[in-house]
Structure 1
């Protein structure tokens, strides 16, 4: 079953403990980000420490309710322009608002979860496969109707093999 609109929003509204995502692509072509990405490429950047929007406010609300939201993004260096944009303009304020973002850098090493596609997992019970074109254009979101156990293992491995975002970016400056 494909998820869109209200059915997709309900996944984030109705989870009880944790919403977690695996990101595997070096670029996501998100129409809502296109103008901001172009500005970033032109050298215009917002201050991530003062950024607040609906997403960061929702993260704060979720944390106050005892819920968790997190992700692991698999990357290789050099980071794509899009990842540099996403890191500085979104990850930074999202982490400060409570998003548990981790980075799994597979530069010069084997990916411990090869060939796993992007997905969201809700309460370790419901998995939604995120289907993308190779360039990062989203095709659709598909409710996975099988056993979530492999995805729980992918999450366990990704978290164990990754580092917190703020730790990772400190290493980039060194």
Structure 2
């Protein structure tokens, strides 16, 4: 039996918000979906990622706000182009709000060194990646003060970031 990811449990328990900050230009270089897209294939995220998108849809239907902010280098990497291409028909369709912040506009912001989720401004779920972008693990921290700092960082990024529908990457 495979255990459910910690984020899934936190989504189900969320009452107000789920915030996600992404800061890398490459994730999971061996991901078959990314590699299929990269080779010109058009895989169906609705079929392959439906468990996550159904979870987000269920979460937002309960009135929980789900926001994702991505800090990206420009010109964008091939991987970020992949993320951009699948965002509207999948993330947005599931109820997420997504914004993009070109890295050059984030210089004055204090941003943690790792990607994170914050649930209900109470729980931080750190995501850890190695140098090539492969996921190596996560750590849940139940610390309202740390969560407050992460929310403040996220909000600073969010306020400067461009909504997905208005962002036209270079």
Q: Normalization by structure 2: what TM-score?
A: 0.82
Which is worse superposed, 111-120 or 134-143?
Answer: 111-120
> Which whole-Å CA distance do the structure 2 matches of 1:36 and 1:7 have between them?
19
Secondary structure of the equivalent of 2:104? coil
Give the alignment's Cα RMSD to 1 decimal.
Answer: 2.5
Query: 1:72–1:102: 8 Å Cα contact kept in structure 2?
Result: yes
Q: What number of residue pairs does the alignment pair up?
A: 164
Partner of 1:54: 51
* Structure 2, gaps ≥5 residues long: none
Q: Normalization by structure 1: what TM-score?
A: 0.81
Find out whether 1:118 has 2:119 as its counterpart: no
Partner of 1:21: 20
- Deviations 1:5-47 (Å, cap 9, x if unpaired)? 346131121111111111011111076xx22222211212257
Secondary structure of the equivalent of 2:80? helix
Query: 2:53–2:91: 8 Å Cα contact kept in structure 1?
Result: yes
Compared CA separation, residues 76 and 153, structure 1 to 2 (3 A): same
Find out whether 1:73 has 2:70 as its counterpart: yes
* Structure 1, gaps ≥5 residues long: none
Query: 2:19–2:118: 8 Å Cα contact kept in structure 1?
Result: yes
Partner of 1:44: 41
> Which whole-Å CA distance do the structure 2 matches of 1:124 and 1:55 have between them?
21
